[in-house]
Amino acid sequence: MLSYFLPPRIEFGDGTIQNLGEHVKAFDGKKPLLVSDAGVINAGLLAKAIDALEAVGLAHATYSDIEPNPTDISITHGVEAYKAEVCDVVIAVGGGSVMDAAKALRLLTTHEPPLEPYYADVGGIERIQDDMPPLICVPTTAGTGSEVSQGAIITDTSLQTTDRWRKRAIVTPFNMADVALLDPGITLGMPPALTAATGMDAITHGIEAYVATKYHPIAEGVALQALKMLSTNIRQVYHHGVDVVARGEMLLGSCMAAFSFQKGLGAVHSLAHQLSTDAPIPHGVANAILLPPVMEFNFSHASEKYAEVARALGINTTGMDSDEAGHAAIDKIREFNVELNMPAGLGAAGLDRKKIPKLAADAMLDHCHKFNPRECTEADMNALFEASF
Ligand SMILES: [Fe+2]
């Protein structure tokens, strides 16, 4: 028997952030905690959320001490802020780090701290109850789709499982936002490099989900449509960021790709999760670099599916057999990486090669590769880091 979870509510359109206060009231909320970060505040985006709350006379508190790759420490401080301010709703305004932090701190408002027993790798899903306050997500980037994903990626500083800080996941269907407000207008100011990195993260979600091993035909269909929308628009938003229609397609496409990865992700994410804590490589950049070598590695186990991916990426595969079409998909990802000015490899992106063996060992502890179409060993992980270097 299988259980599929669909996102509760997605509101899409330019200006939807203005409805934020009404959504809080619909949950009978009196004082939401706004979770955000310095970048979002400096871009003037948190102010839009605050305006929307004040327009309907709602009190609010803000916790904005979220760093990129949020740690369990900042989650603990966020929970303290929620309790001290006597809040009753959590609103995340930001990218993946902010939304993941909001999910984790919301968990600890009703579950006994620390986070340790709730991580996916120690069976945390069994310990998480559906008794948390409402969560409203307003993504300010088009990439992680964290608003509808079941995971929250947290940097664990406790050193309980490894001798370095490590990214770990908290996974539960209750992590999906009760309301996701997708407002392309607030993504217009995203700089090109961030647009490219987050967009390639979304494309990686679609591809890894589509070939992941879980049986989930709903997610497969959504992944292909997401890839169509993302591949059609990623160049446009990189070169012409003010195109609100293309921004909207990217925002909805990234949301759909994230929904689809409840089917599973793959080796790219297990490898990439090791890089943001030990190398200065943003998640989306790491994915973009790792994706072609991982697709080559998987090819013997996924060529038919990569041929479908090629068609979703807009390639005319008439006259190609499935091997040729599958390889055309990999070539297309390499073309995107060149056009979007991604670094040529992990070395160029800033990885110290000496760290690879340890990172490969830790990648094996990450849950994502369990759904990779080809089984991965530690030696494979090492070889994939080397091939991407
Ligand atoms: Fe990702």
Structural domains in the chain, CATH included, are 10-187 (3.40.50.1970), 192-388 (1.20.1090.10)
Average pLDDT of the segment spanning 279-306? 96
Average pLDDT of the segment spanning 210-221? 97
In the reported structure, the alpha carbon of residue 84 is separated from the centroid of ligand 1 by a whole-number distance in angstroms of: 33
Listed range (11-15, 171-175, 273-277, 354-358) with the worst mean pLDDT: 273-277
Give the model confidence (pLDDT) of 273-282 as tens digits: 999 777 789 9
In the reported structure, the alpha carbon of residue 59 is separated from the centroid of ligand 1 by a whole-number distance in angstroms of: 34
Helices assigned H by DSSP within 240-282: 244-260, 267-272, 275-278
Average pLDDT of the segment spanning 340-365? 95
In the reported structure, the alpha carbon of residue 190 is separated from the centroid of ligand 1 by a whole-number distance in angstroms of: 18
In the reported structure, the alpha carbon of residue 319 is separated from the centroid of ligand 1 by a whole-number distance in angstroms of: 33
Does 8 have pLDDT greater than 80? Answer: yes
Does 213 have pLDDT greater than 80? Answer: yes
Average pLDDT of the segment spanning 249-254? 98
Q: What is the CA radius of gyration of the chain?
A: 20
In the reported structure, the alpha carbon of residue 294 is separated from the centroid of ligand 1 by a whole-number distance in angstroms of: 15
Find all residues with CB under 8 Å of 47, minimum gap 6, and list them: 41
Only one residue has tokens 């309790």, namely 83
Question: 3-class DSSP state for residue 285?
Answer: helix
Find the distance separating the first CA and the last CA of the chain, reported in whole Å: 42
d(CA 153, CA 340): 26
Token digits of residue 19: 């409805």
In the reported structure, the alpha carbon of residue 7 is separated from the centroid of ligand 1 by a whole-number distance in angstroms of: 18
Does 128 have pLDDT greater than 90? Answer: yes
Does 84 have pLDDT greater than 80? Answer: yes
Share of the chain above pLDDT 70, in %: 99
Average pLDDT of the segment spanning 282-308? 97
Between helices 72-84 and 96-110, what is the axis angle to 10°?
60
* pLDDT value of position 277: 74
Does 162 have pLDDT greater than 80? Answer: no
In the reported structure, the alpha carbon of residue 143 is separated from the centroid of ligand 1 by a whole-number distance in angstroms of: 8
In the reported structure, the alpha carbon of residue 208 is separated from the centroid of ligand 1 by a whole-number distance in angstroms of: 10
Angle of CA points 224, 271, 196, to nearest 5°: 55
* pLDDT value of position 2: 86
Cβ proximity of 133 and 83 under 8 Å: no
In the reported structure, the alpha carbon of residue 18 is separated from the centroid of ligand 1 by a whole-number distance in angstroms of: 28
Task: Kindly report the average pLDDT of the chain as a whole number.
Answer: 96
Does 349 have pLDDT greater than 80? Answer: yes
Long-range contacts of 187-192 (CB under 8 A, 24+ apart): 187/139, 187/140, 187/141, 187/142, 187/247, 187/250, 187/251, 188/241, 188/242, 188/244, 188/247, 189/43, 189/241, 190/140, 190/141, 190/142, 190/241, 191/241, 192/238, 192/239, 192/241
Q: Judge if the upstream peptide bond of residue 114 is cis by omega within 30 degrees of 0.
A: yes
**pLDDT higher at 167 or 83:** 83
In the reported structure, the alpha carbon of residue 108 is separated from the centroid of ligand 1 by a whole-number distance in angstroms of: 23
In the reported structure, the alpha carbon of residue 19 is separated from the centroid of ligand 1 by a whole-number distance in angstroms of: 28
In the reported structure, the alpha carbon of residue 55 is separated from the centroid of ligand 1 by a whole-number distance in angstroms of: 35
Closest C-alpha to 385, from 268, 248, 239: 268
